[in-house]
Amino acid sequence: MGAKVAIVMGSQSDWKTMTCAAEVLEELGVETDVRIVSAHRTPDRMYDFAKAAEADGFHVIIAGAGGAAHLPGMIAALTHIPVLGVPVQSRALSGEDSLLSIVQMPAGVPVGTLAIGEAGATNAGLLAAAILANGDTALAARLKAWRQARSDAVTERPED
């Protein structure tokens, strides 16, 4: 069976951030399909990807972009599959431009927007896993174990 999670980004330069989503999904044993799909540089590729996403078997799309970050919203306009948007930290405005571009979708076309940068990408991966875990008890168990390990790693007192 093919990947149920697609990770797309507007540029090669976004990969340093978006790899965090891929890494956590790999840790959880979730296969991903990773692509560069730019809304303004490769609009036909973006359209073809989004229109084919359901038939291609994707259940969640994680889309990262920076600056005038219209990629997640454009993909959400073209498919009903849940889109999780990751604002990539931009050079000029530190990602506040990316965040506002992605989060302020008009009612009716949602993009689940995460934090700016690597934390957002990691959490997008975790949310994608949580969505899939609703119908996958083995994945749910792996996700619970992943979270438990994070809790177990917190010491009661700070160490010198």
The 20-39 site mask, x for binding ligand RP5 (CB under 6 A), equals ------------------x-
Q: Which residue in 13, 104, 134, 148 binds ligand RP5 (CB under 6 A)?
A: 13
Applying the rule CB under 6 A, the residues between 95 and 154 that interact with ligand RP5 are none
Told to check if 67 binds ligand RP5 by CB under 6 A, we report: yes
CB of 143 to ligand RP5, least distance (A): 28
Q: CA torsion, points 61, 67, 73, 78, in degrees to nearest 10?
A: -80
CB of 9 to ligand RP5, least distance (A): 6
Told to check if 11 binds ligand RP5 by CB under 6 A, we report: yes
Q: Which residue in 21, 22, 46, 65 binds ligand RP5 (CB under 6 A)?
A: 65
Instruction: Tell me which residue of 87, 79, 76, 77 sits closest to 9, measured CA to CA.
Output: 87
Binding region for ligand RP5 (CB under 6 A): 10-11, 13-14, 38, 65-67, 88
Binding residue ranges for substrate:
11, 14, 41
